Structure 1
Amino acid sequence: MSDSFFIGLDDLEGIALRGNDSELLVVQERSNSVVVVDLSSRRERYRRPLSAMTNYDTIAHHFPDPPDNNGLEGITVNTRNKHVVVVKERKPGLLIELDSTLTTILSTQVLQASQGFMHPELKAEKLDFSGLSYDRSSDTLWIVSDKGRRLFQYDWAGDTVLQRLDLTISTGDKPKQIRKPEGVAFDHGRERMYVVSDRDADLYVFKLHDDC
């Protein structure tokens, strides 16, 4: 059996696993929806647009109609409470917490410079957010920026960025920045951070240290 399969949707962005790896959650930016795929049958179970969820009226003003290509980019699962978290790319950058049934918007948080989301070479309104991964060990979120080419570790409870890490690799001459980092996954057990480049179709693996 092939390890890859087709999903009859386009404009798909972030992905996440849940349900003991039995389900794949995917965000579609064009419709700002979460799509649930059964990995056993490799078929779509259902999809939930944000606009159909309870409490959407609290964030509707952030989502213009028609969409402006700054919609949902990333998704992750909080393994402590089973809630799903998605991130809006920009205008504004926005974290949205959903219940496990994907029917209710539980809470939201606009991502701003005052919390630590900043870059020395980009104005705050230019900074985007292209993916995220939940860190169970610290109950934080790792959020990657495409234009900023850096990772932010964000503590939602404290509403603050704990650290900012530039995404660079050693090439023998001088450090090279990863181009268009749009996916991130954190493995606490192995102390590894996985980042994928959309521009180069490369997967980079970083080892995190206790003092990073």
Structure 2
Amino acid sequence: MTRHLLLFVLLISIAISCKKDNPSDSSLKQIASYNVNLAECSGLSKYLNDNFLTVSDTLEKVYVIDKTGNVLDSLSYEGHNPEGVVYDSKSGHVLVVEENTNEVVELDGSGEELSRFTVTVNNIYVKHGLEGITLNPENDHFYLVSEKSPGLLFEFTRDGQELNRHTLSFAKDYSSVFYDESLKKLWILSDDSGTVTRCSLSGGAEQTWTTGINKGEGLIVESSSKRIYIISDSDQKLYVFSY
């Protein structure tokens, strides 16, 4: 009996250990949702005056929204299938990724184009190209994700030099990426999997949360308050979660 009891305890301990090592065991708690009167919102970035930036890949522009989803303004930029956006607080510039051409476009504060460079993604389908962009303000490096086929994480310098690329395999697709300054981590959103994953800077999955929403296309994480903002394409909503 003692031997059987010890074996039982050992098996339970192994099971608990495996559960702890599994990064996919949590759900986000939705605390609010707000309507966003824009078609096919994609991408989300912190901006001036505690507001956000997003893009519409149908209207092909960059918009300023507040934290309750109200559309406040737009930039002069008129793009081609924009999917991700990030604001650079040092320069006051805005960077947008265009999926069809896999280009990163730099805009001035009003939305006038300054420069662009192309990322070699080698995606099988045109609509599976670049989806998200984020900035590490400490070294001015950009992180980009491509949607799928293949799903990739890129690291670039501010002037467009590729430093690293990593294959991603923890989700069905990858729709947005956010650099967390306080944790020095990346958060990657998956539309098809309905998940948010905290990752290392090389894309290694550390912990995953399920979102419970459709077509999440952009995210912002405030790790100090444990808040996550996600903008939904099909729902036309800005969701607020705790984790």
In 1, the alpha carbon distance for the partners of 2:221 and 2:136 equals: 12
Structure with bigger gyration radius = 2
Specify the code of the residue in structure 2 equivalent to 1:45: L
Going from structure 1 to structure 2, the CA distance change for 1:68 and 1:42 (only over 3 Å counts) comes to closer
Secondary structure of 2:193's match?
coil
In 1, the alpha carbon distance for the partners of 2:123 and 2:235 equals: 30
- CA offset digits 1:110-133 (Å, max 9, x no partner): 002xxxx14xxxxxxxx0000010
Q: How many residues align?
A: 172
User: Of the candidates 171, 175, 182, which is equivalent to residue 130 of structure 1?
Assistant: 175
Structure 2 unaligned spans of 5+: 1-71
2:193 matched to 1:152?
no
Specify the code of the residue in structure 1 equivalent to 2:92: S
2:138 matched to 1:75?
no
Specify the code of the residue in structure 2 equivalent to 1:92: P
2:220 matched to 1:185?
yes
The match for 1:124 is: none
In 2, the alpha carbon distance for the partners of 1:43 and 1:190 equals: 35
Offset of 1:192 from its aligned partner?
A: 2.0
2:92 matched to 1:22?
yes
In 2, the alpha carbon distance for the partners of 1:80 and 1:183 equals: 22
2:75 matched to 1:5?
yes
Specify the code of the residue in structure 2 equivalent to 1:108: R
The match for 1:164 is: 208
In 2, the alpha carbon distance for the partners of 1:3 and 1:10 equals: 19
In 1, the alpha carbon distance for the partners of 2:119 and 2:230 equals: 27
TM-score, normalising length: structure 2? 0.66
CA contact (8 A) 2:179 2:187 kept: yes
Offset of 1:19 from its aligned partner?
A: 3.6
- CA offset digits 1:8-31 (Å, max 9, x no partner): 212000111114361111000011
Structure 1 unaligned spans of 5+: 52-59, 119-126, 168-176
Offset of 1:189 from its aligned partner?
A: 4.2
Offset of 1:186 from its aligned partner?
A: 1.6
Specify the code of the residue in structure 1 equivalent to 2:204: T
Offset of 1:79 from its aligned partner?
A: 2.2
The match for 1:88 is: 146
Secondary structure of 1:69's match?
helix
- Higher RCO structure, 1 or 2 (CA under 8 Å, sep 6+): 2
TM-score, normalising length: structure 1? 0.75
Specify the code of the residue in structure 1 equivalent to 2:168: L
2:162 matched to 1:105?
yes
- CA offset digits 1:183-206 (Å, max 9, x no partner): 111223443211011001100112
In 2, the alpha carbon distance for the partners of 1:207 and 1:23 equals: 30
Runs of 4+ in 1 over 3 A off after TM superposition: 188-191
- CA offset digits 1:68-95 (Å, max 9, x no partner): 3110000000122110011010011100
The match for 1:205 is: 240
In 1, the alpha carbon distance for the partners of 2:158 and 2:111 equals: 20
CA RMSD of superposed structures (Å): 1.8
